[in-house]
Structure formats: structure tokens, C-alpha cells
Structure 1
Amino acid sequence: MHSAPRPAPQQSLGRFGIFSHELRSEDPALQDRRRHAAAELEDLGFGAIWLGGNSSVHHAAALAESTERIALATGILKIWHENADTVARQRAELEDAHPGRFLLGLGASHAQLAPELPAALAALGPKMLRLARDRAAGAHPAMVTPEYIEQAREVLGDGPLLAPVVTVVLENDRVRARAIARDFLDLYLRLPNYTTNFERLGFTDEDFTGGGSDRLVDALVAWGLDDTISGRLTEFHTAGADHLALQLITGEGGESPPLAQWRRLADLTGVTAKSA
């Protein structure tokens, strides 16, 4: 067993990163666009790129070649879909080529998305948080609120990384913003490990119908004017988050990857000013 002390990755991730499914695409036609987008996120001042979906080490390795400093993380690698020895080898190779830039995020996925499996581990509950505290660098929860972050920080203590995914819609019109958010939340409202966690936070079955109540949507998705969104992100940091992996959701027909809106996020979070 490795005897070195556990690193404190929050020191290198910064306060904000980008969570993106697009940047893990394996479409050959999109590879140049992926590399360009990753390099621009680094130039904008974001501290990390979290590769969404069932991402793997090789997805991060492809972007490491086109960037110099930004951290690259899987968010998440599903433990049932990858061979542990292969992951360990790929991780060692990436660490050797780009020291200190890769963070391996692991998850158990969901029973509904892996029906051949007899069970799936709930990744949001207190047992998983204690496992993150005792055996990992920290926790990377999704679909959570500042209230959850405050509770999670109490479980984790001061040392481990707490880097939640925070969903953002850059839209001020409440009807359109909530419509975009509800389209995105539809899947999560059909996954029991998420709805169970919502119930722990005080939501009820009534909040899960019709695509989610306004109360639930507003709790899970930051939307509005830039100052409103910035204030909401501050709530997560105040509650105890070290780093926020910002997942930008756009309506149909938006740019992919959404570079123009990522630039706006860089401005409202202040990462561009800090990197200048």
C-alpha cells in the first residue's frame, strides 16, 4: 500500500472548474474542437476540467496533450465498466507524462443504468461520504444544494476535498430557465438514489412530479442574472465546498461545446481576472 500522505488536491484545483460531457466525446470529427476548448478553458483561468458521463483515463490523457496546467478529472469513471488493473496502468502512465494533473473520480453508477448488475451503491448518502473521508481524496457529489454541502462537510471534516457539481443555466427569464432545467432534471427524478437524497434535504414526492417543483428546480439549478448566479455559487463555498465543478446547461440548438457561455461563466466567477 502506498504510504505517502494523501494529497490536498483542492490547493491545485482552484475554486471553479468546468464539468462537461462534450469534452469526453470520442467522435473523431470533434477531437480538434475538444482540444481547442480545453486549451481555452485553461486560458480563461478555470482550475479543472471534469469529464462527465462514463469517462475514463484515456479521455483525460487526450486533453492533457493540448493543455499545460489545468487539472483533468473523471466525473465519473464507473467502477463496474472498467478493469481495475487497466485503470491503474493508464493512471500511472498519465501521471508519469503529466505529473500532478489528473484526479481519478470513481462512482458506482445506478441500477437502472446497469440492469445486469445485482445492486448499485448509493453515492450520495452518509456511508459513501464516510468512505470518501477515510479512503479517498474527497467527494464529488452531483445534484446537491448548499444545505447538503454543509452536512457533507461535517461528515468529511476539514481535510478531504469537497467538489460538487453545480448546474448552471445562464438565462434570466424564469419560464425559459426552469424549462431548460426541467428537461435536464428529468433523468435524475427517475433515479432513486437522487430522489432519496432530495428527501433527506426535505423535499417530498410532490416536488418530483411535473418535471420538478419550482422549489426543487431553484434549489438544484443556479439561474438568473449574473449577480444572482454568482451569489448562489458563493453559498456553496460558504457551506464548505472547496471547488465547484460548473455544469452549464443550454437550450436546444446551443453551441457545443458552449464556449461563449463558458467565457461568460469565467467572467462572473472571476477566474479570468485572477489568471490575468
Structure 2
Amino acid sequence: MTQRMKLWNFFQMESQSLKPAFGPAVHVDQMGDAPSVIVVCEHASNRVPAHLDGLGLKDETLTRHIAWDPGALPVAQGLSQQLGAVLVHGGISRLVYDCNRPPDAPDAIPERSEVFEIPGNTALSDAARDARIAQVYRPFSSMLTEQIGVHRAHLRMMVTVHSFTPIFRDQMRAVQIGILHGDDDRLAQAMMQSIPADLDMNVQLNEPYSAADGVAHTLNRHAVPYGLPNVMIEIRNDLIESTAQQANIAQVLAHWVTTAEAAMSERNNM
């Protein structure tokens, strides 16, 4: 074991003995009195609790896509405002714990992300892992369950909002918007069949990720059991860098999702 690893293990043991606060792991913004849509943004924040000392990474690294989904939260907020939705969004970096993964997923607390080693996640003790599950994943998951229960009478669908990096492993991604689904593909298929005619973007189904990559956890755990039509929307983050871009995409998505949901409902009633 290297000296660096020994220091991290010591730090983890000290942290557990002091039971440091992680701070808020989840936030809720209700945009309407009776929301019919629940919007989720799991990777909204790149915040690392102070006692984790940046997970051993440079500050600049924590601004990169590995730590969060840049631009996703403003889009999710704009979409929620347009739809009068309730928005549930994460308050801690996915490097601490990825709230779109179950506790038994290998990448829930990644030791490596893309080309970056994550020293603060290496050889975690069971106690340190359990603390992250208890203070990050459980509060987020419980809040989603609570909000669905509170608004269940008028909820019609769940939409999760993410962003992805335009270049991955030195390859440019042509896809600009990905429409993803888990076990329930109704809303995703309806969106693919109702792509706005004036949307000059490369839209693909289940790209650049799919359920096979483990990204459908929130949809399958929190929407499917309630019969809520659901979709995960991935936006290439170079398209949502500015406030104007974020507002525009939010407006496009609001109209698109509403149109798709109406078409899906109409087919179901035929």
C-alpha cells in the first residue's frame, strides 16, 4: 500500500469517527401548484463535502464533466418552469456518490472516471461506503419517493435531465440530444416520433448511453413502479453553455415533451 493510500485510509477512519456532515444531498423546487410532471437532475452539482478534501483531485478537475453534468440544472429548472413541474435535483458531486446508480453498482462510487483516478474513492472502507450511501443516495432516493407520493394524484410523467461531453476518449460525438429509456419506452418512443421539425440537431435513441450502461436506475426504480411514463434526456454540453442556450433548449424540450405525451395519450385512448 502506498503512502498516499495509507493517508487516505487514515483520513477516512478519522472522518467516520467524527461523523462529518455531508450537507444537503437533495433539493426540491416546486414550480406549480399541482405539478403533473416530476423533473429530476441527479448530477446537478459538483460539490464535494469539505471533509472529503476534494477526493484528492485538483479544483479544475472537479469542474469537468466527470464531477457533474454542466448546464443540466439550468435546463432542468427552465423545463420545470415551463411545465409547472416539481424538480428534484442533487446537491453533491456524482464522484462522491452517483445518485443514478444503486448501492451495489461498481460505478456508484467510481475509483476511476474516464482518464482520471479518484484517490478519495480508492479502497474505501465499508464504513466510509455505507456513510455515502446513507447520507447521499438514501436522502435523494427517499425524497424522490416522497415527492411522487405527495403529487401522485396528478403526476403524468417523469423526465430526467443530463448532459454529456462532446468528446469522449478523443472521439467527437455526433449525437447532440439523446432520448433514453429503461424498462418503459413509451415516452421515449413518442418523443422520437415527434421530433420538432425545426430542431436542427442530431437526435438519437439510447445514445450516447443506454440502459445497458446502467443509466436507467432512477427511471426504473422511481417511475416504472408507479406506471409513470418516463424518459431520460441527454444534451451535449457544448450546446448549453450559455444562459440563452439553456433557456432555448428548455423551451424546446417543454414543447417536445408535452407534444409527445399528448400523442402517447391519444394513442392509448384509441
Normalising by structure 2, report the TM-score.
0.31
Larger Rg, first or second structure (1 or 2):
2
Higher-helix-fraction structure: 1
Normalising by structure 1, report the TM-score.
0.31
